[in-house]
Amino acid sequence: MTRRPIVLQGVGRLGSAILEGWLATGAVDPADLIILTPSEKPAAEAARARGARINPPLEALAEARAFVIGVKPAKWLEAAQAVLPHLAPDAVIVSVMAGVRGETISQGYAGRPVVRVMPTTGVAQARGVATLWAADAAALAVGQELFEPIAETVLLDDEALMHAATAVSGCGPAYYFAFTRALAQAGEAEGLSPEAAARLARATLRSAAAGVEGTEGLDALIDRVASPGGVTQAGLVALNENGALDRAVQDAVTAAVAKSTELSA
């Protein structure tokens, strides 16, 4: 029995990361992939070499059981018009767009079931994070099938919480990268060469990420590094003087939630 394919529309940064993760893990057989892209992309070409179909006649979409929207939020509705007449009525719409509500997407796709997924680009290495929400249990199951092999998945029971999940997880990697950059710059200011400071800061981020893999609480992880009265403890006190670090992170998440909410209006 022929398996119904998965369609990926859009191979930008996030779409490419998802595709790379699928190819690396075998989560989706390339032979079961249809990729829609207006231009050549390395990830799409790698998938083509392994059997994926790139921009086939739109009639081929009638076979699809899932349609993954990887285009920018401002363009999804326009992009939907060309494919909508060709999708099966039971095709699940998988949205990785920030800020666009499931009900809005479902209406744009003539009432088809929708699962919203907010993944990080770490899915490319099968080490991403993905938050999922769906009003339809079957749609949610499709989302889990596609993303659990390439991400740690968190299921939400309230779509409104997608704003917070986006602000924490979807935006979070940029926060960590910004902190890593600041750490490197501080190392330079203390006399390290730019190359040494950057290598130390980046390697430290990787090392810290490895340490958080287990189930140990975050406070315990901090205490493992920061001995009372020691060097690390002195740095932490300065970092969060009068709650400065906590407030800065809270402000970042609050601003991202507000922007996500604005985009969904």
Distance CA 182, CA 188 (A): 10
Q: What is the mean pLDDT of the chain?
A: 94
Distance separating alpha carbons of residues 135 and 144, to the nearest angstrom:
14
CB 164 within 8 A of CB 253: yes
Strand partners of residue 8: 35, 68
Same domain membership, residue 177 and residue 94: no
Per residue, the 3-state secondary structure of 252-265, as one string, reads HHHHHHHHHHHHHC
Each residue's pLDDT tens digit, 213-253: 888 899 999 999 999 999 999 999 999 999 999 999 999 99
Tens of pLDDT, residue by residue over 107-119, are 999 999 999 999 9
Which of 162, 190, 223 represents a domain boundary (last residue)? 162
Q: Strand, helix or coil at 128?
A: strand
Mean pLDDT computed over 201-205? 97
Provide the domain count of the chain. 2
Contacts of 132 (CB under 8 A, 6+ apart): 115, 116, 117, 118, 140, 143, 144, 147, 153, 154, 155, 156
Q: pLDDT band at 99, cuts 50/70/90?
A: confident
Residues 128, 192, single domain; the answer is no
The answer to whether residue 2 scores a pLDDT higher than 80 is: no
The verdict on 106 and 180 lying in the same domain is no
Q: What average pLDDT score do residues 113-131 get?
A: 95
For residue 83, pLDDT over 90 is answered with: yes
Predicted local distance difference test score (pLDDT) of residue 265: 67
Strand 151-155, strand 128-134: pairing: parallel
Asked whether residue 37 is marked as a ligand-binding residue, the answer is: yes
> Can you give the CATH number for the domain in which 230 is found?
1.10.3730.10
Do 119 and 41 share a structural domain?
yes
Residue 1, pLDDT score: 39
Which of 104, 133, 162 marks a domain boundary?
A: 162
- Predicted confidence (pLDDT) at residue 191 exceeds the cutoff of 80: yes
Reported confidence tier of residue 101, pLDDT bands at 50, 70, 90: very high
**Closest to 206 in 3D by CA, of 182, 240, 235, 180:** 180
Does 19 share its domain with 145? yes
Q: Is there a single domain that holds both residue 185 and residue 153?
A: no
Q: Which domain holds residue 158?
A: 6-162
- The residue type found at 197 is A
